[in-house]
Amino acid sequence: IGKNIIYKKEVTSTQALAHDMARNDASEGTLVVADYQQKGKGRLGREWHSPPGTGLWFSLILRPDIPPQKAPQLTLLTAVAVTEGINKAAGIEAQIKWPNDILIDGKKTAGILTEMQSEPDRVQAVIVGIGININQQPEHFPELLLSKATSLSIAKENKIFSRAKVIAAILERYEDWYYQYLIDGFEQVRKRWEELAVTIGKEITATTVTKTVEGLAQGITEDGVLLLKKKDGQIEHIYSADIH
């Protein structure tokens, strides 16, 4: 992972560039990283604020031999690797909020966007986009984000981190988890995800497109589906939701 590195000072989005490169046969493990994204992409069509030189904005090209329906497992694997990398490089207790936000002190410090290029029964490439707020100070965040977002620096008394060291720590954890996953499957990843998750074991409210469900977050399935135990004892499967 990261042996082939494409570095750009400025791009529209590392995710878009990685998609193009994957269509043009870029090899597994190719890393596309930029100092600044003019139009960073977040999940659910949102924009990802990517100011110059402050954070880590990168995309990885993977070519796992798995069926398309297992690709979401890689999102959870990525959350585990990024959380462990941050914890190791910064000495911080970051945690995962389902499905794949990474929080410090309850505020979002990193996000993951997993997309794939596939045929009906075969993954051609998975493009994993990772954005991490590293050295931003409060004035770097748009007003609206301040109550919800943080950076490693804000969490660690304004210390300035080496972005190179943080990405190196993450790629090192990534390589370990990814190759173990290809050999042994998802179960170890699932267990570690649950250990690092702030969501599990808590009373939460999940707002889906159609309804709001309250219950105790019990864990995740093989596919990353959240299991919620409601007051009446029934287990609800949550596929996609905002949770509090």
In angstroms, rounded to a whole number, what is the distance separating the alpha carbons of residues 208 and 75? 20
Q: Does 68 bind ligand BTN (CB under 6 A)?
A: no
Q: Which is nearer to ligand BTN, 43 or 88 (CB)?
A: 43
Stretch that binds ligand BTN, among 7-15, 191-199, 201-209, 220-228 (CB under 6 A): 7-15
Q: Does 17 bind ligand BTN (CB under 6 A)?
A: no
Residue least distant from ligand BTN (Cβ):
111
Structure tokens at 161: 């981190």
In Å, how far are 18, 56, 63, 125 from 23, measured between CA atoms?
9, 24, 12, 8
Residues in region 78-97 near ligand BTN by CB under 6 A: none
Residues in region 92-151 near ligand BTN by CB under 6 A: 101, 111-113, 129-131
Question: Which residue in 1, 6, 14, 71 binds ligand BTN (CB under 6 A)?
Answer: 14
Stretch that binds ligand BTN, among 19-27, 50-58, 154-162, 231-239 (CB under 6 A): 50-58
Judged by the rule CB under 6 A, the positions of this chain that interact with ligand BTN are: 13-15, 37, 40-43, 46, 48, 50, 57-59, 101, 111-113, 129-131
